Structure 1
Amino acid sequence: MRYLSLILLYFITQIVFAQEEGNHPLHTKDVIEQQKWVDSIYNAMSVKERIGQLFMVQVMSENSDKVNNEIVGLIKEEGIGGIIYSKGGPYRQARLNNQLQVASKLPLLIGMDAEWGLSMRLDSTYAFPWNMTLGAISDNKLIEQTGRQIGEHCKRLGVHFNFSPVVDINTNPKNPIIGNRSFGEDRDNVTAKGLAFMKGMQSAGVLANAKHFPGHGDTEDDSHETLPTVSFSEKRIDSVELYPYRKLIKDGLSSVMVAHLNVPSLEKRRGFPSSLSKHIVTDILKDSLGFKGLIFTDALTMKGAADYVEKGVDGITPKTLTKGGEIDLMAFLAGNDVMLMSENPKLGIAKFIEAYDEGIITEERLSHSVKKVLMAKYKVGLHKYSPTGLYNLDNDLNRIKDDILYEELMENAITVLKNKNSLLPLRDLETKNIAYIELGDAPGSVFYDELKKYTKVHHIKADKLDGLIAKLQNYNTVVVGFHKSNDNPWKGYRFTQKELAWLYEIARTNIVILDVFARPYALNELRSIENIEGIVMSYQNSKIAQEKSAQLIFGAINALGQLPVSAGEFFPVGSGETYNSISNLGYGLPERVGMDSELLSRIDSVANYAVNNRMTPGIQLLVARKGKVVYNKNFGYHTYAKKNRVDFDDVYDVASLTKILATLPILMELEGQGSVSLDAKLGDLMEGYKKSNKKNITLRKMLSHYAQLKPWIPFYYATLDSVTKKPDREYYRSKRSKEFNVEVTNTLFMRNDYKDSIREIIKESELLSRLRYRYSDLPYYILKDYLEGFYDKSLHDITQDRYYKSLGANYTTYNPRKSFSLKDIVPSEIDAYYRYKEVHGYVHDMGAAMQGGIGGHAGIFSNANDVAKIMQMYLQKGFYGGKRYIKAETLDKFNTCYYCEKDNRRGVGFDKPQLGEEGPTCGCISMTSFGHSGFTGTYAWADPEEEIVYVFLANRTYPEAGKNLLLRENIRTEIQRLIYEAIIE
């Protein structure tokens, strides 16, 4: 019977504790074991040791050993219960943390202000955006994930309490200490964000701390410098400032920090700090709100706190007890559990002991707080303490998953506040002449570089306003970036009067998009927005914020954000216009699109191998998946002289990629319009071919390289002197004239009429003896003539007007010397057989050179980013940037292998994967994929099934074409194999 009674008692106890666990935020699932541990530790402690648990001392891990030795003294002699870290790197903190824990008889409770996570990045950026930025996000699942990942950071570093989330409702733009640390001014939004953040962090095993109770949001004073006053009525504070606390407490908030504030409606004593107010801490927080978790004071070292000691509290004055430690005692008697950053912990502990001996602190009151501290220690695992591991700490605090989340957060936060006439996202790029103006005192170079990925954008500078306005006359769209420091959330954010004056004048004369990389309150300075067509709030000036904002302006990502605070007279809280992306290429991390960064980085070694072994002087390399560029790197130099490193803005001679970048898209457009058919015959399309031996050749066969056309005709060879083998004066001159006007190089001009000779040579050329697959350039000579005749303009003008300008492919052109500096053009060869000089800025292909640099088969110069745009347009079935260029069914026709059964892998114009063992791909790619390669070492390939675009640009022909080592060692296809091995979903 006695045995059954014990069992019954056990189950009743379990039920009682389980019920308490649901209400007590510091209870664990094994609450009985927790209680046993707490009681055993408490009972084994002396009074001094118990009191020591209530003190959390500030430690700066960057400080000298002397200072840290003082902390060790407090740990050993005073038995303090915890430390709060500030300043100093994670490695130093981890090492010091382990040292301090060893010095402590009972493991220390570690706290930290890690509101935005921890980072070991070299640029000293924080791991995640400020709370104000998070407040603009509608999807609170992202906020919860942020809380969790910050919690994981803390746990990895041995931090048990993170003093966040800030749930102050920031209704005062002039608040110097909250500002960016608040989720905003709407109580429901702040509450939802705070709750999500809390849940995420506590799910990682790190205890949350809501601050600053009862509400620090509406004050213009810095609580680190004085005692700010919050002068609202009790009713207002109850309905607004306390609102988040009710919700978070109900859902298991672990701790609260009481603010250093003067709140007259809640504390009648004039100028009395809230952290010392029994009415605020005990009557309201503990009794009225029912909070059972740990209560921390704000820093007791804050200026002004000591001024109120003489006023006493509950009969305790300096006359009652000896001098020293009064602030700590007053805070404890007010109801706080942990004295945070006491000015003199040793005196404070002595004061507590004296008060305990005098009966001012009762045993019940002492055990109430000390046991809560011990419960927290058990909950975070300090009953089974293990040191913080130092191995791989940098990687653990700088994870890919954190970078991914940062990207997602910024994409969801950036807010479009004004969008007159649906200016954003920018479309019809062929009609836009865009300038970028940089305002503010922080760099905007990342933003500018990202803008340039979408179209031609010029950075305009001037010392005086009138000079700037004069320069802007050539532009019809101006992007003004207002960039302020991202070093910390308290940095300045205001426009200067000069900047405002310039902004108003720029907007008066131009279409303007203002992009603000600072807190929203910067907009308070604006007195008029009438002439500003677009306003974007990007919140921060971090690298990712700048990148994502540029992508949003050009429609690569959706516009989703909503303003978390009111910003001036024009933008109330909740403002924000949304729009969907227009299918432009975006830029992001591989993991966002199901690829592995580490696996993808193996490409580096292959590219470096090619450069180091002189297979090509340099390489531009790009990989995109699912509409995002996830790998974009440059290797090597323009030449082996190693003077100019390969840059993103450099242009390469793409050789035969011209076929699919210039001739083919124009032809596909005509096919979609019904102007031509794949079954159309040359004799029907072109008058000159009606009686030729090629009159019955169809476009389908010709572009599939299945038309018995000769592979290549060396047109230039017939124009060389038979003895010297140099350009014959019959055909060339060293200076331009009316008769010799075809510019082969800047010192070699061909006779105008020889272009007609080339046409005749092709038309009269014999066909091969039998029908079989033979790659040939001749179809593209023929189609160049056809297209130029159809449109009555050069292929250069056709491609620019119909494709490149609207695509924003501003690095793609024939004859790049007319548009680019030579330092931005990669040379292709030192020609010792025709031009007898370095081929730099002129097309490498001799036949295209003899056509003035404009060939249907060769002549295009471009960079990897532009080539990717065109390939992505193909991948998206002819749609890009909000515009349809080619019908989807047309692309399907051209991306079809019509003669595979004849051992011909080619599509119509496009190359296709090999049918056997050897071919143009890695053999690990889908048969629906398509692309092309070029003689200079270039390669572009797209795969609809995996949604991959791969671009490889090189000048392997420099200094001489020689042996194609890139091809021999399968460099391009080996990289393609690594791309596919990096796919993880």
Structure 2
Amino acid sequence: MHRVTRPKTIARGPKVPAAVAPAFTQYLHSPWVDSLMRALTPDQRVAQLFMVAAYSNRQRIDEDSVSALVQQYGVGGLIFFQGGPVRQSKLLNRYQAQARVPLLVALDGEWGAGMRLDSIEKFPYQMSLGAVAGADTALLYGMGAEVARQFRRLGIHVNFAPVVDVNNNAANPVIGFRSWGENPAAVARASRQYMRGLQDAGVLAVAKHFPGHGDVDVDSHLALPTVRVDRRRLDSLELPPFRNLIANGLGGVMVAHLNVPALDSTGTPTTLSRPVITGMLRGQLGFNGLIFTDAMNMKGVTSRYPPGEADVRALQAGNDILEFSRNVPLALQMVRAAVDSGRISQKEIDQHCRRVLALKQWAGLRHYQPVALQNLVADLNPPHARYLSHRLTELSLTLLRNQKSLLPLRRLDTLRVATLVLGGALRDTTAFQKAVADYVPTAHFHAAANPTLDELVRLREALKPYNLVLVSLQSLGRLPATNFGITPEANVLLRELAGQQQTLVLSVFGSAYAVAKVRDLDRAAAVVLAYQESPDAQSLAAQLIFGGVGAQGTLPVTVANNLPRGFGLKTEGGLRLRYANPEDVGLDGRLEARVDSLVGRALAVQAVPGCQVVVARNGTVVLRKSYGNQTYAGEIIVENEWNARNGKNKLMDKNASSAFSHSSTSSTLTKPRLVADDDLYDLASLTKLLAATPALLRLQQEGKFSPDSTLGNYFPFLRGTNKANLNMREVLAHQARLKAWIPFWKELTNRRGGLRRRYFRADSSARFPLLVARGLWGSRKLPARINKEIGASPLNTKPGYVYSDLSFMLYPQLVRARSGLAFEDFLRRDVYRPLGATTLGFRPARRFPLARIVPTEYDSTFRRQLLHGTVHDEGAALLGGFSGHAGLFGNANDVAKLVQTYAWGGHYGGQQLFDKKILADWTSCQFCPDNRRGLAFDRPAADPGVNFAKSSTPAAYGHTGFTGTAFYVEPQYGLVVVFLANRVHPTRRNGKLSELGVRTGLMQVVIESVLNP
């Protein structure tokens, strides 16, 4: 007769709500389970209770050892650790093919499969999620469902999550950031949603670490921690989350290696304690699911019990599955001996085995299919996963200090900003720094976590010119023993910086408990806690600082007396562009894939070498992406070779300077440079809307310009000409009978086609100050000559719409006359700097390296060189690159800032840059139905598919540029779309971009993602 160990009597806790039976228990007596129980020998039933460790990043000998355990000993399951999804799936298919009974597969996926495997989207840590104010149940449930989808795609059935330990001990070395927080009710609420999401999507949730691992100061991997609290405390703090989940259908529980005298006075680890597992978990709490041990190779167990004996005691205690046994063959032998001797009954073994098999049927293993390898990585990273991770991170950001409501930052034009990364790689620009640079020009600095005194002095001096320093604490540790990575040297540096005449904003990318280790925290004007160092956390912290997103998170744990659990200051977002995902604003999550396809077709037929795309809805950028290359492969050649191929060795006549041969100005490039997000494009005619128009809007609201005046009123040299009385409203709407354009440069050549030395030189001087192209300078008399030609030009004989450059070439003169500032200076002061759109500007090679400026055309007739860093338009080139119709350069992100300002009625960054009523007038149709145009802005034609998307509404507006650029605003749907390309490279004769309808097609794709989300 078998002897059965009775559970020791322990104090009972409060009455527990009736437990909901886990879903898999419906299969406990199914025909499939019954048939397997009959087929399996007693030894094979025991083997089903072992779950062994497997890795996909180790040697073949390790893989073969697992195969032996599957084939020879018939173990019931695997728990995978480090590796990659494709490698792991290949390995799993091999193991499953070797198994007589399909294997139950588990993974520690507290923040998704990406916790263990590379190439998979990682979700935020649980403490980050604990900061999500109000524990957004829909998002946490959605995260659980998405993690389950990842698992199912990988052939995994069990997730050892959620962690439901209530972390109320800052010195806890093993839980900490893995816990939702220190409040039992909040932990229970969040855990329940994660559990429901997992199990509703077909993956077993395993709550851990029973009976509660949150109040320890020893790592159970290294020793056996003792929880020295009474039963009343356990019932009020540690156990409520377990009770709550059990009452709601929890499928699995993992038992920790703990010494809890209040539950078992013998000092036995809870993993091996029958009073704890069978007496309390099964008996008092009514748990009907599967009970897993924590890893049986941890010193919390192995320091007291040898291999085999620990496994026997674990089964005696009532565990169903033994995880990570140190010696499976020995353990199987000793368990069999324990059954034979009566230490464990066969009935108990069979109950455990039946539960395991029932779970296998629930998980779909009755109809096992191998993991399909095709599209595996793509399937594991759908847009919805990206959205969930990003959104949860955004909601978690916690603002701990905000003196004088500094955040979000305003008046960027008054700030000189530097970023300082403390810790991390000393040369790499971090995600935080890149995100800051998206908002404002920034100088980046780095320092080691423990800088020397000399380094501190140098850094302090280097930062003096800046009145705002954004410090980010990075590469922080997770262990209390290391002060969570906050070093004494870092504290000294922060004190020094705070003592200077600078405003200091501190962002902490680490544990909430790290904040308490920062001395003089109150010297910082603002403090942002981001909980972890993911790219999302870094980007979103910058967005919070600049008002792209608001601060919404609250502390999940107490950090200090003045920073208790639940504390978190609030700010509003929507002040500037936010960077998120399509689903954040109700767009189809497949938007990026559709844009990729559209742009991919354009690249394939060489409509453009590359491009930048920005898509925003309601001020949220949901797609910002660069495609292709700046040039085609091998297209940048030595320019004297180009000239030789075209029979042109000189740009001018026989007296031309030898400098014009350009024999050493560039070199052959066979590998083109990829387009980057911060590269600058020649914006061509977008200059009209991004330079001339904002300047005139500013002047109009200051009473210095009116569209109801005349050209002659603003340009004295036009008085007495046929243009003097042309109404500005008609001029700006392109129906004042002005010629479309004038090829000014053709009058500046001689009979042989060379440029006349009267107007051009190879070097700059007071007489030749206008940069026309590299190595080509124009006469200071050229602007006056152009003015004269415009004044003398005939008007079109027929009235009506004719798109014209001519008036826009003159507006810089109007701006100078009315404001007292040069055109670019006025724009920089009143528009670009307030927006933080400082890549927008003329003659970009003065401010940026050529590598960041995308080349345009090989001009074989006028300048006879590759146009790189100088304006493509000939007329703007003759004006030195400064004009109101062309000459502006910039990247798509900065273009989007100004276009979004239009979409927001002239408001951006807390400033009303343009009068809302004036702007509404400019964007509305002026002379419909005969002329579709607004003032400067283009609008949809009667057939929108001609110049706008076919689904554009009548309220849409925008513009296109000759070099391949475009922007569109769709007010009805809150959309802004920017497309920048150099379709004129290498020749303007390339019309494929328009033939394919890429720009209008892009807008159509975006509108469809609104209409069909």
Both structures adopt the same fold (TM-score exceeding 0.5): yes
Q: Please tell me whether residue 346 in structure 1 is matched to residue 339 in structure 2.
A: no
Which of 146, 167, 170 is equivalent to 1:170?
167
Whole-Å separation in 1 of the counterparts to 2:867 and 2:45 = 83
Which of 954, 963, 966 is equivalent to 1:927?
954
CA gap 1:609/1:567 in 2 versus in 1, 3 angstroms: same
Whole-Å separation in 1 of the counterparts to 2:915 and 2:194 = 47
Whole-Å separation in 2 of the counterparts to 1:469 and 1:728 = 53
Please tell me the residue identity of whatever aligns with 2:731: M
CA contact (8 A) 1:585 1:629 kept: no
**Greater alpha carbon shift after TM alignment, 879-888 vs 402-411:** 879-888
Q: Please tell me whether residue 565 in structure 1 is matched to residue 562 in structure 2.
A: no
Structure 2 match to 1:314: none
- Find the residue that maps to 1:240 and give its secondary structure: helix
Q: Please tell me whether residue 414 in structure 1 is matched to residue 443 in structure 2.
A: no
Question: Deviation string for 1:400-430 (max 9, x for gaps)?
Answer: 2212211112111222222222222222111
Structure 1 match to 2:522: 530
Structure 2 match to 1:430: 413
In the TM superposition, residue 981 of structure 1 has moved relative to its aligned partner by 5.6
Q: Please tell me whether residue 450 in structure 1 is matched to residue 477 in structure 2.
A: no
Q: Please tell me whether residue 665 in structure 1 is matched to residue 694 in structure 2.
A: yes
Question: Deviation string for 1:280-331 (max 9, x for gaps)?
Answer: 2233222222222222222222225245449xxxxxxxxxxxxx73222222
Structure 2 match to 1:801: 829
Whole-Å separation in 2 of the counterparts to 1:105 and 1:618 = 54
Structure 2 match to 1:17: none
Question: Deviation string for 1:415-447 (max 9, x for gaps)?
Answer: 222222222222211111111112213555222
CA contact (8 A) 1:21 1:28 kept: no
Whole-Å separation in 2 of the counterparts to 1:423 and 1:70 = 60
Q: Please tell me whether residue 466 in structure 1 is matched to residue 451 in structure 2.
A: no
Q: Please tell me whether residue 56 in structure 1 is matched to residue 56 in structure 2.
A: no
Question: Deviation string for 1:163-219 (max 9, x for gaps)?
Answer: 111111122233222122211222222111111111111111211111111111122
1:38-77 superposed matches below 5 A: 38-39=33-34, 41-42=36-37, 45-64=40-59, 66-75=61-70
Q: Please tell me whether residue 84 in structure 1 is matched to residue 79 in structure 2.
A: yes
CA contact (8 A) 2:740 2:803 kept: yes
Structure 2 match to 1:93: 88
**Greater alpha carbon shift after TM alignment, 373-382 vs 576-585:** 373-382
Question: Deviation string for 1:704-749 (max 9, x for gaps)?
Answer: 11112222234445555577642343x5565555555455457555
Please tell me the residue identity of whatever aligns with 1:818: R
Question: Deviation string for 1:454-487 (max 9, x for gaps)?
Answer: 2211213577222222221221111222222799
Question: Deviation string for 1:778-811 (max 9, x for gaps)?
Answer: 2223433333222121111111111100111110
**Greater alpha carbon shift after TM alignment, 762-771 vs 173-182:** 762-771
- Find the residue that maps to 1:244 and give its secondary structure: helix
Please tell me the residue identity of whatever aligns with 2:438: K
Which of 380, 387, 402 is equivalent to 1:397?
380
Unaligned regions of 5+ residues in structure 1, if any? 1-19, 311-323
Structure 2 match to 1:241: 238
Q: Please tell me whether residue 293 in structure 1 is matched to residue 321 in structure 2.
A: no
CA contact (8 A) 2:478 2:484 kept: no
CA gap 1:403/1:350 in 2 versus in 1, 3 angstroms: same
Q: Please tell me whether residue 220 in structure 1 is matched to residue 249 in structure 2.
A: no
CA gap 1:346/1:964 in 2 versus in 1, 3 angstroms: closer
Whole-Å separation in 1 of the counterparts to 2:52 and 2:214 = 26
Whole-Å separation in 1 of the counterparts to 2:41 and 2:763 = 101
CA gap 1:937/1:255 in 2 versus in 1, 3 angstroms: closer
Structure 2 match to 1:825: 853
Whole-Å separation in 2 of the counterparts to 1:600 and 1:957 = 21
Structure 2 match to 1:319: none
CA gap 1:491/1:909 in 2 versus in 1, 3 angstroms: farther
Aligned residues: 946
CA contact (8 A) 1:90 1:120 kept: no
Which of 258, 264, 277 is equivalent to 1:261?
258
CA gap 1:286/1:658 in 2 versus in 1, 3 angstroms: same
- Find the residue that maps to 1:464 and give its secondary structure: helix
Please tell me the residue identity of whatever aligns with 2:549: I
Please tell me the residue identity of whatever aligns with 1:426: L
CA gap 1:65/1:145 in 2 versus in 1, 3 angstroms: same
Unaligned regions of 5+ residues in structure 2, if any? 1-15, 448-453, 637-668
Q: Please tell me whether residue 439 in structure 1 is matched to residue 398 in structure 2.
A: no
- Find the residue that maps to 1:696 and give its secondary structure: coil
1:820-969 superposed matches below 5 A: 820-829=848-857, 831=859, 839-902=867-930, 904-915=931-942, 919-958=946-985, 961=988, 964=991, 966-967=993-994
Please tell me the residue identity of whatever aligns with 2:497: I
- Find the residue that maps to 2:299 and give its secondary structure: coil
- Cα RMSD, aligned residues only: 3.4
In the TM superposition, residue 943 of structure 1 has moved relative to its aligned partner by 2.3
Whole-Å separation in 2 of the counterparts to 1:576 and 1:258 = 34
Please tell me the residue identity of whatever aligns with 1:495: I
Whole-Å separation in 2 of the counterparts to 1:964 and 1:886 = 36
- Find the residue that maps to 2:794 and give its secondary structure: coil
Structure 1 match to 2:3: none
Whole-Å separation in 2 of the counterparts to 1:64 and 1:586 = 45
Please tell me the residue identity of whatever aligns with 2:967: A
1:501-540 superposed matches below 5 A: 501-509=492-500, 510-540=502-532
**Greater alpha carbon shift after TM alignment, 404-413 vs 628-637:** 628-637
CA gap 1:671/1:299 in 2 versus in 1, 3 angstroms: same
Question: Deviation string for 1:626-645 (max 9, x for gaps)?
Answer: 43141421322257224544
CA gap 1:788/1:187 in 2 versus in 1, 3 angstroms: same
Whole-Å separation in 2 of the counterparts to 1:662 and 1:122 = 49
CA gap 1:333/1:28 in 2 versus in 1, 3 angstroms: closer
Structure 2 match to 1:116: 111
Which of 202, 207, 210 is equivalent to 1:210?
207
Question: Deviation string for 1:506-535 (max 9, x for gaps)?
Answer: 232221222222222222321111321122
Q: Please tell me whether residue 543 in structure 1 is matched to residue 525 in structure 2.
A: no
CA contact (8 A) 1:115 1:164 kept: yes
Please tell me the residue identity of whatever aligns with 1:508: G
Which of 804, 811, 826 is equivalent to 2:839?
811
In the TM superposition, residue 353 of structure 1 has moved relative to its aligned partner by 3.4
Which of 738, 741, 747 is equivalent to 1:709?
738
Structure 1 match to 2:628: 635
Structure 1 match to 2:344: 361
CA contact (8 A) 1:607 1:619 kept: no
Structure 1 match to 2:12: none
**Greater alpha carbon shift after TM alignment, 211-220 vs 598-607:** 598-607
CA gap 1:41/1:900 in 2 versus in 1, 3 angstroms: same
CA gap 1:711/1:259 in 2 versus in 1, 3 angstroms: same
Structure 2 match to 1:192: 189
CA contact (8 A) 1:27 1:375 kept: no
Whole-Å separation in 2 of the counterparts to 1:827 and 1:28 = 63
Structure 2 match to 1:302: 298
CA contact (8 A) 1:725 1:833 kept: no
In the TM superposition, residue 827 of structure 1 has moved relative to its aligned partner by 4.0
Structure 1 match to 2:709: 680
Whole-Å separation in 2 of the counterparts to 1:769 and 1:884 = 42
**Greater alpha carbon shift after TM alignment, 805-814 vs 166-175:** 166-175
Which of 573, 584, 587 is equivalent to 1:581?
573
Q: Please tell me whether residue 137 in structure 1 is matched to residue 132 in structure 2.
A: yes
Whole-Å separation in 2 of the counterparts to 1:487 and 1:78 = 39
Please tell me the residue identity of whatever aligns with 2:790: I
Q: Please tell me whether residue 788 in structure 1 is matched to residue 788 in structure 2.
A: no
Whole-Å separation in 2 of the counterparts to 1:461 and 1:147 = 38
